[in-house]
A = this chain, B = another copy of it.
């Protein structure tokens, strides 16, 4: 009935995720005194007194964000929390509370939900956050999880996507590409399982990357480390959609360009060997494979001595003037433009 009334139809696929969000939300006006930063960063910054409050929210849908045939519910509950907390840490804030809402169809027994909540509880304990609210309802089809995280940060210590300056260093935490390759292994095993359900696969050589996919961690430790090192990044974002996507966000919000060095990308040996096995280019995976939940930040060159040699932080490039554009500098010293991959583009192409 509704669709009949709308003669004009623009398929969502035409816009892609980022354009869609922008299109739908860029007209929201800020009117509250207490709203310091609204839509457009990892989390909102609110001011209710001495501290800034940060809020972030995510929606996870069965069949879109997870596949219950290989994601144990406990890990899924854990991951749903981590995905959100990661956004809070990406503001240089400490997460303090979350609300968790779930919708389930009646094909789920109580025990399944208990498993899910066990994962949520474990994450709440490990990351030291209180679960302070939520909604539980029925669903007509699959499982839906919605998490909103709230955090606090000293006034002026919040790090947005918009503060990068030319000559700042581009720094990433940990290593990248693992979660995506873990997913490739799990997808392959699912296909094998369909053919031979009694096959017990030996996944011991993939433990790290499978864990990166099923039970990722958010980099709370980095917020503490940066404080300890007395480094305030000029901009920061978490790596949920892949470095390419995230560095483009930093560049666009900060109005700068970037030179990113292929040979600096931190890769775990398991990512390299699995890429070889799947005949995939590890640089493509490192740049476009999402869900690593590492932090990507820019820091002032004068802070370099403070982070030099730290095993958690890798300098992978530097920011340039905006008109220089966004480039990957290959091992062969060629410059290739960095392109945004859209909504699930990676899954469709490879």
Given contacts A35-B96, A132-B38, contact A110 B142 (CB under 8 A): no
Q: Are A130 and B38 in contact (CB under 8 A)?
A: yes
* Whole-angstrom distance between the Cβ of A140 and the nearest chain B Cβ: 4
Bitwise, A101-144 to B at CB < 8 A (1) or not (0) is 11110111111111101000100100011111111111111101
Q: Are B31 and A61 in contact (CB under 8 A)?
A: no
Asked if A46 is at the interface (CB within 8 A of a chain B CB), the reply is yes
Give the interface residue-count category, chain A.
35 or more
Q: Residue A103 contacts which of B51, B117, B144, B343 (CB distance < 8 angstroms)? A: B144
Q: How many copies does the complex hold?
A: 2
* Whole-angstrom distance between the Cβ of A243 and the nearest chain B Cβ: 20
Q: Are A64 and B139 in contact (CB under 8 A)?
A: yes
Q: Residue A133 contacts which of B14, B56, B62, B64 (CB distance < 8 angstroms)? A: B56
Query: Can you list 18 residue pairs at the A/B interface with Cβ under 8 Å?
Result: A2-B72, A12-B138, A14-B110, A20-B113, A25-B131, A29-B130, A32-B130, A34-B97, A34-B152, A46-B150, A55-B97, A56-B133, A57-B146, A61-B103, A64-B138, A99-B148, A101-B146, A146-B146
**Which B residues are CB-close (under 8 A) to A13?**
106
**Which B residues are CB-close (under 8 A) to A107?**
3
When chains A and B are docked, how far (Å) is the Cα of A121 from the Cα of B39?
Answer: 14
Q: Are A12 and B55 in contact (CB under 8 A)?
A: no
Given contacts A137-B64, A140-B64, contact A55 B10 (CB under 8 A): no
Q: Are B61 and A132 in contact (CB under 8 A)?
A: no
- Which chain A residues (8-66) contact chain B, with CB distance < 8 Å? 8-15, 17, 20-21, 23-25, 27-32, 34-35, 37-39, 43-44, 46, 48-51, 53, 55-59, 61-65
Asked if A1 is at the interface (CB within 8 A of a chain B CB), the reply is yes
Q: Are B139 and A6 in contact (CB under 8 A)?
A: no
* Whole-angstrom distance between the Cβ of A252 and the nearest chain B Cβ: 18
When chains A and B are docked, how far (Å) is the Cα of A112 from the Cα of B239?
Answer: 31
Q: Residue A99 contacts which of B57, B113, B144 (CB distance < 8 angstroms)? A: B57
* Whole-angstrom distance between the Cβ of A152 and the nearest chain B Cβ: 6
* Whole-angstrom distance between the Cβ of A183 and the nearest chain B Cβ: 17
Q: Residue A135 contacts which of B2, B32, B59 (CB distance < 8 angstroms)? A: B59
Asked if A69 is at the interface (CB within 8 A of a chain B CB), the reply is yes
**Which B residues are CB-close (under 8 A) to A21?**
134, 136
**Which B residues are CB-close (under 8 A) to A139?**
61, 64
Given contacts A46-B97, A65-B137, A150-B46, contact A128 B31 (CB under 8 A): yes
Given contacts A53-B48, A132-B55, contact A64 B103 (CB under 8 A): yes
**Which B residues are CB-close (under 8 A) to A128?**
31-32
